[in-house]
Amino acid sequence: MSDLFLDAPHQEEHDEAPQPSRRSRRDDRVSQTKRRKSRRRRTGIVLVLVIALLGGTGFVVWSVFGDLFTGTGTESSVKDYPGPGSGEAQVTVAAGDSGQAIGTKLVDLGVVATVGAFTDAYSANAQATSIQPGTYAVKQQMKASDAVNALLDQANRVSSRVTIPEGYTAEQIYQRIYEVTTIPVDELTAAAADPSALGVPAAVDNIEGWLYPATYEFEPGSSATQVLSGMVAKTVQELTAAGVATDQMETVLIKASIVEREGKLDEDRPKIARVIENRLAIDMPLQIDAVVAYGLGISGTELTNADTSEAQPPYNPYNVYKVPGLPPTPIASPGAASVNAVLNPAAGDWMFWVTVNLDTGETKFATTYDEHKTYVAELRAWQAAHSEG
């Protein structure tokens, strides 16, 4: 019994696991350190392979799409839009604008991405230098090469086309301009109050007759001064080309305006111009109804005998039945045919003319008053035959 009790503690000690030695523990720590280093090396190799793979993919993406970006990859860094674009913008190309200048305007309007993209496309297009001044409707976010082609297409040009017929007065011209461009008549009238600012010679104090009859393209936003000065410049250009000296331009326009309003057929205009010269040569009053009517602000059909036979001065300055010589201003804007007739009047001794058929414009010329009266009677007969009722 005593042996059993004495042996029990020893049995418990033999059941416990043996403790490792210091050398064994040190060997375990070394093994663990080696295993950790091995895992780190494997992880590092995997990361290198992943980075290399991603780098290769990035290179492929950049090689395909890199020309669309510059540096940051944000929208603001887009070098050229892929197109075709959307929405609408209007860009004005001024005379003398370079590709750089046009590109800058397009970038500001959001039409192309960068000036560089546009100038590259501009240089690559052999027709680009023929882009005409004007305002064009284009899309926003266009491919630069498409923007160049859009500016070369006149169908994209935005402007107000105004046609001024020969024989219109300044007031009629203002109304026509307003109807097309919506520039108020009051603004046109105010601009016309200073003719010299519009290019009319300094010695001339009126705009009548100086607004050349033609078809004009006015850009959006054009001012009254810009519109009228362009028309005056056309008149000066045409008269200068015809050899008219500056100090004679107003006189030519006065005579040509009378020819314009009185002549129905181009073939008759040189004859009417000759009659005017023949009357002026002998100080004979012009006695032309269209001139008197202009001074009164009415049409020729509204003119009465009382209008032409004023009893005493001061006379209507345009009453050429009473006031000798030419009227003080032109009475309309003459066309090229009337100006040419004044510069090259027909040879003849006619002193009168009258249109005997108001439908066809047939006009007859006479050298004596008696002959003229027979033609006037012919006109009256035509009017009676064509009167209503």
Are 331 and 362 found together in one domain?
Answer: yes
Are 348 and 274 found together in one domain?
Answer: yes
Quickly count helices (H) and strands (E) in the chain: 14, 7
Are 196 and 214 found together in one domain?
Answer: yes
Amino acid occupying residue 181? T
Phi then psi dihedrals of residue 141, to 5 deg: 55, 50
Residue 88, domain member (yes or no): yes
Contacts of 345 (CB under 8 A, 6+ apart): 270, 271, 273, 274, 276, 277
Interatomic CA distance for residues 145 and 176, integer angstroms: 39
Interatomic CA distance for residues 240 and 201, integer angstroms: 12
Mean per-residue pLDDT, 109-123:
93
Interatomic CA distance for residues 289 and 301, integer angstroms: 9
Mean per-residue pLDDT, 124-139:
90
Provide the sign of the torsion angle of the four alpha carbons 261, 264, 266, 272, taken in this order: negative
Amino acid occupying residue 368? T
Task: State the average pLDDT for the chain.
Answer: 84
User: pTM for this structure?
Assistant: 0.68
Are 278 and 349 found together in one domain?
Answer: yes
Residue 335, domain member (yes or no): yes
Are 92 and 74 found together in one domain?
Answer: no
Place of tokens 């309309």: 332
Range from 19-28, 87-96, 120-129, 307-316 carrying the lowest mean pLDDT: 19-28
Amino acid occupying residue 204? V
The pLDDT value recorded for residue 184 is 93
Are 272 and 356 found together in one domain?
Answer: yes
Residue 19, domain member (yes or no): no
Give yes or no for a contact between 179 and 161, defined as CB atoms under 8 angstroms apart. no
Residue 11 has pLDDT above 90, yes or no: no
Residue 13, domain member (yes or no): no
In the chain, pLDDT over 70 holds for what percent of residues? Answer: 79
Are 72 and 87 found together in one domain?
Answer: no
**CB-based burial label for 21 (10 Å; 0-12, 13-18, 19+):** exposed
Are 192 and 114 found together in one domain?
Answer: no
Residue 223 has pLDDT above 90, yes or no: yes
Residue 30, domain member (yes or no): no
Pairing of strands 86-93, 134-140: antiparallel
How many domains is the chain partitioned into structurally? 4
- What residues make up the domain containing 225? 160-241
The pLDDT value recorded for residue 31 is 56
Give yes or no for a contact between 373 and 381, defined as CB atoms under 8 angstroms apart. no
Strand order in the sheet with 86-93: 86-93, 134-140, 157-158
